[in-house]
Structure 1
Amino acid sequence: MTRRTRLAVVLTTSLLAAGGLAGCNDSGDDQSPASGPTKHHTRATDGGATDDAGDDGGSDDSGDTTTVPVYFVGDTPQGTRLYREFRKVAADGSAGAALSLAASGDALDPDYGTLLPAGTFGDITYDEQIVVPLPDDSWTRLPDGMSERDALMAIQQIVYTVQGVLQRRSPVVFTDGDGNQTQIFGVASEDGFSEADPIRTLALMSVTSPETDQSVSGTLHASGVGSSFEANVVWRIQDAGGDTVKDGSATAAGWMDKLYPWSTDIDVSDLDAGTYTFVASTDDPSGGEGAGPTVDTKEFTVG
């Protein structure tokens, strides 16, 4: 049995058992991957037409730039999952620019990274399928040190990003330098890759606002997406010393089947000027007996 055939058998078995992380034109394994997210710029190793995760959308900021969703990866109690940041990229070729940013691992949040090799994406076209030319032929093979589960999550990093930018749920196919459809990381799909189940792919808690290093005055508008027990989002604000100075909860629009938006306004007018951390987490009904809550943090300043 060849390595490629063996990988296909392993992945097919994994998909049948775990619900389809590859998303091969359908909507994983919760074990932590053998290798983790990479920040290419700091170290060598380390939701479509409507987005189920909430408020994706490419809103034009100017004639030259547009704001798009870019998916990075981070660690959660369920293993490596996808986190979303809204980023400004060039309006011309925004999908390729967003994928190049995802591959760079250059997230604003220092807790996020990437599973993708470094590479620059060119023009992306779409009709019934979204066609993504790979940066080079090395992307067709499983990179050294990348686990098979990481390969599936890396593919989803691309799928969620490009579908979010284009606001289309069309299946994603990959082409080589000659424009021929090809596999990616040793995984082939004739029909293309669709977004995988968000509950098994996305971090169950993700903060959209405040953004990392945002300056806030008077009222902090906190928002994000999540899937938390009974839609309860637990939040707190910590000072530079790690002490909690404010805490509370918010209610998301739903839970269980996908990630739902949540938001809350917090009075910070009584806080001294300085740096603080906003912490949002899922509720933990197990009382610490389970894997624990999924947490996302954003550092911000009060001026």
Structure 2
Amino acid sequence: MGTRARRRAAGTARRRAGASLAAAVLAALLVASCAAPGKPVPTAAAGATGAGAGATQSPAPLETSQTSAKSPVYWLGRSRDGVFLYREFREAESDDNPVVKALRIMMDDKPLDPDYFSPWQKPKKLAASVSGTNIITVDVSKDAFSTNVDERTAQLAVQQLVYTATAAAATAGLVDTSQTISVMLLVDGRTSQLAFERVQLGQAMQRDVSMAARAWIIDPQEGAALAGQLKVTGRVAGPEASIAWQVLRKDDTGAASVYLSGTAQPSRETGRAGEFRFAVNLEDGDYAVRILPSADASAPADSGGTEWDSKSFRIGD
């Protein structure tokens, strides 16, 4: 073989070896992305379907199974940082499955808290089913989307449905809460529809943590009647080392003033991260409790724009 032929053969061998190496590296990366412990392959998150800009693959904490017949329902609520999702537990007299029961409350009823609202309308048709692969399929008629809303509200409303459906399935024990839970939303049995004429559907959606409220009061609920003592439980989703709380007392005219105040430290324990609790003894009367960033602990009673969440309640008969 001549010198030129030997050079051409050597060049061809080097190119083939390089191509083989590149293929091997690519294959290794693909395998690693599919099988690396703790790093699951990304699935279609809410942001991928237009249901929330800045969506993350990390699911918001799910509710746990409970024996109570109350349904977990999410609403849109106004707070110091904008509009986000908040949860209430509601009584429901219905023979529907738990997911449909919660969604009917979300679409048919009004929230207990006057700071909350919902853009959904009562639909003519509503159905839901849960598959063995942790996928909740919700089929709703087009009239549920008859409210005219802006882009942000439409995204929040779709996530409101995702949060409510997954919460209802989780509390009823219908899904494996250790695995990702997805929601497929159909409109009159069809995929790839537009929700509120703004949000593209057609892919499985998960909870978008950026849509959930930064902090909220879990208990008491709005309008609760309590006996002698206020026991507050709540949750903070952010990195706050502490939160501030205030108890406002209302006079006969409904005017409120700061009656008690303090701070609470969110738990960092596994399974309870972000939860906070505090309790105070109170005389009979009408009150409200609110939570705020610790920097706003001395905010006056009429500074509602600083609070994350608030609940009105009554002590005594």
TM-score, length basis structure 1: 0.70
Match runs of 1:55-94 below 5 Å: 56-61=63-68, 66-89=69-92, 90=94, 92-94=96-98
**Which residue, out of 90, 94, 111, partners 2:115?**
111
Structure-1 residue corresponding to 2:142: 137
Structure-2 residue corresponding to 1:4: none
Distance apart, 1:210 and its partner CA: 1.4
Structure-1 residue corresponding to 2:32: none
**Which residue, out of 201, 213, 222, partners 1:212?**
222
Report the 3-state secondary structure (helix = DSSP H, G, I; strand = E; otherwise coil) of the residue aligned with 1:211. Answer: coil
Q: Which runs of 5+ in 2 are unaligned?
A: 1-46, 300-304
Matched to 2:85, the amino acid is L
Report the 3-state secondary structure (helix = DSSP H, G, I; strand = E; otherwise coil) of the residue aligned with 2:126. Answer: coil
Q: Distance in 2 between matches of 1:300 and 1:180?
A: 44
Q: Distance in 2 between matches of 1:117 and 1:247?
A: 39
| Percent of paired sites with the same residue | 22
Distance apart, 1:280 and its partner CA: 1.4
Structure-2 residue corresponding to 1:263: 277
Contact 1:228–1:282 (8 Å) recurs in 2? no
Report the 3-state secondary structure (helix = DSSP H, G, I; strand = E; otherwise coil) of the residue aligned with 1:116. Answer: coil
Asked if residue 247 in structure 1 is aligned to residue 226 in structure 2, the reply is no
Distance apart, 1:78 and its partner CA: 2.6
**Which residue, out of 206, 221, 229, partners 1:194?**
206
1 or 2, which has the higher helix percentage? 2
Q: Distance in 1 between matches of 2:203 and 2:257?
A: 51
Structure-2 residue corresponding to 1:8: none
Q: Distance in 2 between matches of 1:15 and 1:180?
A: 18
Matched to 1:100, the amino acid is R
Matched to 2:279, the amino acid is D
Report the 3-state secondary structure (helix = DSSP H, G, I; strand = E; otherwise coil) of the residue aligned with 1:230. Answer: coil
Q: Distance in 2 between matches of 1:138 and 1:211?
A: 30
Contact 1:72–1:114 (8 Å) recurs in 2? yes
Distance change (3 Å), C-alpha of 1:301 and 1:144: closer
Contact 1:229–1:282 (8 Å) recurs in 2? no
Structure-2 residue corresponding to 1:19: 54
Report the 3-state secondary structure (helix = DSSP H, G, I; strand = E; otherwise coil) of the residue aligned with 2:309. Answer: strand
Distance change (3 Å), C-alpha of 1:96 and 1:81: same
Distance apart, 1:282 and its partner CA: 2.6
Asked if residue 302 in structure 1 is aligned to residue 315 in structure 2, the reply is yes
Q: Distance in 2 between matches of 1:301 and 1:13?
A: 43
Q: Distance in 1 between matches of 2:161 and 2:51?
A: 18
Contact 1:234–1:281 (8 Å) recurs in 2? yes
